[in-house]
Structure 1
Amino acid sequence: MSDQNSAPLHALIVEDNRDLARLFSDLLEVLGCKADIEWNAVAGLEKAASLRPDIIFCDISMPGEKNGFDVAREIRAMPDLERTWLIAVTGYDNAETCDQAIAAGFDRVFAKPVKFAQMQAVLDDVRGKRRGAGQQPG
């Protein structure tokens, strides 16, 4: 088990804003993660199914046929991804959006811009396998 805990976490970022996604990836790598990026929900779902990452950071509001809520619902329906943490990332920091995100299957909701301390705390929780802590304040 110690080998698993010392292995870098694998994160997937699903975000249509390329600059934000790259910044997010860089921060995750500084925090000891291997990070992949997908630019839309459909590609994110495909990548999640093939990679089975430890954690997925997903924008809620993306253009295209699916949004972040769809991603969460579909990830939660995949048996191979039942242990994957889902973090909603949103520019809409209000109670209704947070409630919808948690109901869709996200473990936490982070308002943009995501703070370094939030990322570090959730990665510590993933490493410690603590789930179900609900939403984090923005």
Structure 2
Amino acid sequence: MTKVLYVEDHEAQRDIMVQMLELYGYEVDVASNGEEGVKKAQEWRPDIVLMDIRMPGRIDGLVAIRQLRNGPDTADIPIIVVSAWGSAKHKERALNAGADAHFTKPVTMDELIAAINRHLK
């Protein structure tokens, strides 16, 4: 079963996404901020990470992406940004930090599942 780590600070959005991803057959774990996301990725070793950008705490999504890209055990994990920040500047920052793709909320499940499958190959 494909393991997806979803890093998102809004609990309601986390809950909805977890339910949807589980309906598609994914095993899902969650983190509520960048620091927790990095730690869970290092421990759980997901097949892919879905990452919000703007989150509370010491580490936002961009810093978390950079840390994952620099980690020996996490550097190759695909990272898809799912963020309310959708300007060209924000997309560029996410991709420059090491994200493999960027989607602006709200994203359809069809788009997201297609991206997950594309980046797992």
Q: TM-score range by the shorter chain?
A: over 0.9
Q: State whether structure 2 residue 28 is matched by structure 1 residue 42.
A: no
Quick one: percent identity of the two aligned structures?
32
Q: CA RMSD in A?
A: 1.0
The answer for the alignment partner of 1:75 in structure 2 is 68
Out of 28, 53, 64, the residue aligned to residue 60 of structure 1 is 53
Tell whether the 8 Å contact from 1:16 to 1:40 is kept in structure 2 after alignment.
yes
**Matched pairs, number:** 121
In structure 1, list runs of 5 or more residues that go unmatched: 1-7, 130-138
CA-to-aligned-CA distance 1:31-78 (integer Å, 9 cap, x gap)? 111000111111111100001101111110001111000010000001
The answer for the alignment partner of 2:77 in structure 1 is 84
Shift of 1:83: 2.3
Q: State whether structure 2 residue 9 is matched by structure 1 residue 32.
A: no
The answer for the alignment partner of 2:11 in structure 1 is 18
In structure 2, list runs of 5 or more residues that go unmatched: none
Runs of 4+ aligned structure 1 residues displaced above 2 Å come to none
Larger radius of gyration: 1
TM-score, structure 2 normalization: 0.95
Tell whether the 8 Å contact from 2:69 to 2:76 is kept in structure 1 after alignment.
no
CA distance, structure 2, for counterparts of residue 26 and residue 122 of structure 1: 18
Shift of 1:85: 0.8
